[in-house]
Structure 1
Amino acid sequence: MTVFSGFSRRAFLGATGATTFLAACGNGVGSPGSAQIDARVNSTEDYLFNNFPGTRDLANRASGVLIMPLITEAGLIYGGGYGRGALRVGGVTVDYYSATRATFGLQIGAQQYAHALFFMTEGALGQFRRSPGWAVGADVRYATPAQGASLGKETTEMEPVIALVFGQQGFIAGATLAGVKYNRIIP
């Protein structure tokens, strides 16, 4: 006896399980808006500055910093990810952004991580803010958390954007920002 005509019980359980899993990740979807995003960004920024001391100086030299407190990714051949965060200029939130990602390939699992984009030039920050949707490109330098304390003035003056991925949890190998698209949102 089938309750769902044309829709198998296995497909229903799979869809329900995937939806429940992503909802449980707590990435801010359906949250009360800017107050919750700001609270998460504040907490993530405190974690970043306290655990990787060089990042505070890096943020002070940057024209702006985009903090994405929680990106959630999941995949089984096809995958995707989503998160929300805030762009801060001079330590003040000026805009909110979402980050989305779609992937295809040999993958299975899920992970969560945080990341920060340090816009080291006014030009890079302006290009980011003017674009209808900005994707991480070749002009981004990736830094590891260990390098966060040693990114010198000479390095940062030559790089328009520095990306730092940290706080990974889960079981997809490697967190990267390739293919992530950022869009301004109104929470």
Structure 2
Amino acid sequence: MISRRTLIGSAGAAVTLAACGNGVGGNGAATIDARVDETRDYLFNTFPGTRELASKAYGVLYMPLVTEAGFGIGGGFGRGALRIRDVTVDYYSAAKASVGFQIGAQQYAHALFFMTEAALSEFRASPGWAAGADLKYATPETGANIGKETTELNPVIALVFGQAGLIAGATLSGIKYTRIIP
């Protein structure tokens, strides 16, 4: 049986390892904004339907690079920006923890599209917002045609794209977004 101290220490080590590969040291506002611009352009050019989705959203949180690693216990970290009408209004970090059968490392980008004003307001008002059961993650390759029905039913739509690396396993995980000052 794994003690709580071992679990917390291992999760901290995994997040630290993930952050090291994420270039955390050089993540000032200008760097984050440049990465967000590149990520947004890649998303719109590669998956054209996301441009219309962004135009209907009240805000979009772009996380250009999340690094994740795990061996039994895992973690991930990334930084990004919340944009309203394509203007940066806040910066956020994303920290992910997972436990279960897993091994490997990967990097990816993701974007959260806030489809209602209430969802965006709740996100911005919270001191730390955790992704929950009401959030659906999809890859644009499998969900390239996000229709009107999807945006009406889901107040937050999350797309994961640009995956590189290999991680395998079955885990329980959560991700928390926290406002930062870069």
- TM-score exceeds 0.5: yes
Once residues 121 and 146 of structure 2 are traced to their aligned partners in structure 1, the CA distance between those partners, rounded to angstroms, is: 23
Asked if the contact 2:63/2:79 (under 8 Å) is kept, the reply is yes
2:63 is aligned, of 65, 68, 84, to 68
Root-mean-square deviation (CA), in Å? 2.3
Asked if the contact 2:54/2:60 (under 8 Å) is kept, the reply is yes
Residue in structure 2 matched with residue 98 of structure 1 by the alignment: 93
2:44 is aligned, of 36, 44, 49, to 49
* Number of aligned positions between the proteins: 168
Asked if the contact 1:65/1:117 (under 8 Å) is kept, the reply is yes
Percent identity for Structure 1 against Structure 2: 70
Once residues 143 and 101 of structure 2 are traced to their aligned partners in structure 1, the CA distance between those partners, rounded to angstroms, is: 31
Structure with larger Rg: 1
Higher fraction of strand = 2
What is the TM-score normalised by the length of structure 1? 0.83
Structure 2: 5+ residue stretches without partners: 1-12
Asked if the contact 1:75/1:107 (under 8 Å) is kept, the reply is yes
Residue in structure 1 matched with residue 155 of structure 2 by the alignment: 160
Residue 72 of structure 1 deviates from its aligned partner by 0.3
Equivalent AA in structure 2 for residue 168 of structure 1: Q
Alpha carbons of structure 1 residues 53 and 147: separation in structure 2 relative to 1, 3 Å: farther
1:108 is aligned, of 96, 99, 103, to 103
What is the TM-score normalised by the length of structure 2? 0.85
Residue in structure 2 matched with residue 10 of structure 1 by the alignment: none
Residue in structure 2 matched with residue 126 of structure 1 by the alignment: 121
Structure 1: 5+ residue stretches without partners: 1-14
SS at match of 1:180: strand
Asked if the contact 1:84/1:99 (under 8 Å) is kept, the reply is yes
Asked if the contact 2:72/2:103 (under 8 Å) is kept, the reply is yes
Superposed CA deviations along residues 117-166 of structure 1, whole A, max 9, x for unmatched, are: 00000000000000111011111122321355311122212210001001
1:141 is aligned, of 103, 113, 136, to 136
Residue 177 of structure 1 deviates from its aligned partner by 10
Q: Where in structure 1 do 4 or more consecutive aligned residues deviate above 3 Å? A: none
Once residues 178 and 60 of structure 1 are traced to their aligned partners in structure 2, the CA distance between those partners, rounded to angstroms, is: 30
Q: Which has the higher contact order (CA 8 A, sep 6+)?
A: 2
Once residues 133 and 37 of structure 2 are traced to their aligned partners in structure 1, the CA distance between those partners, rounded to angstroms, is: 29
